[in-house]
Amino acid sequence: MSRHVEVDAARCTGCRACMLTCSLRRMGETRLSGSAIQVFSSADEGKHAPIVCLACPSRPCIEACPVRAIVDADDTPLLDVKRCIGCRACIAACPYGAIGYDEALGKAVKCDLCDGDPLCVSVCNAATTMPGALRILDGPPSAESLDAAQERLANAESWRCQESRHAR
């Protein structure tokens, strides 16, 4: 059965402990682009958008990969970094913007649910009585959850677009 990291963006404070933790576990170093979860913040830091793979039912990333580096699994599709050629086809295919790109390695970055106990969730929910923005849920994401993921992506892109418009 699939599981996924459920996101409640209203509870995110933009601390990015999840990114620091994820990259340390995956890479043995902290590097923001090495994290499989990305947190975007609005320019004035009032709003935040954590973006991570939801293990969605359609899983277009699998089909998109030209070298079959992404294989399906019960919990979530798994990316074999050794096979990845960094073409970004999976990134383009994901409707939720949930696959990242590691600038240093030149390869895709995808959540593997930390073998079932995602560390991003445990550092976000460090206290049992103080729920964070992330939690692990059994089963596929609900329709509302997928809508919310698209809204987070739209928010993150709008925050980025404003800047690139001026950059030109």
CA-CA distance, 57 to 31, in Å (whole number)? 30
3-class DSSP assignment, residue 161: helix
Question: How far from the centroid of its chain's Cα atoms is residue 25's Cα?
Answer: 15
For another protein, the binding residues in 71-100 under the rule CB under 8 A are none
User: Residue 75: which residues within 8 A CB-CB, separation 6 or more?
Assistant: 2, 3, 55, 113, 116
The residue among 26 and 110 lying less far from another protein, judged by its C-beta, is 26
Going by the DSSP 8-state scheme, the letter that residue 76 receives in this structure is S
Binding residue for another protein (CB under 8 A) from 1, 44, 117, 138?
44
| Binding-site string for another protein from residue 114 to residue 153, where x marks contact by CB under 8 A and - marks none | -----x--xx--xxxxx-----------------------
Question: Residue 73: beta bridge partners?
Answer: none
Binding residue for another protein (CB under 8 A) from 104, 106, 142, 157?
104
Binding residue for another protein (CB under 8 A) from 3, 8, 31, 59?
31
3-class DSSP assignment, residue 36: coil
The residue ranges that bind another protein (CB under 8 A) are 10, 13-17, 20-21, 23-25, 27-34, 40-41, 43-47, 103-104, 119, 122-123, 126-130, 159-160, 162-164, 166-167
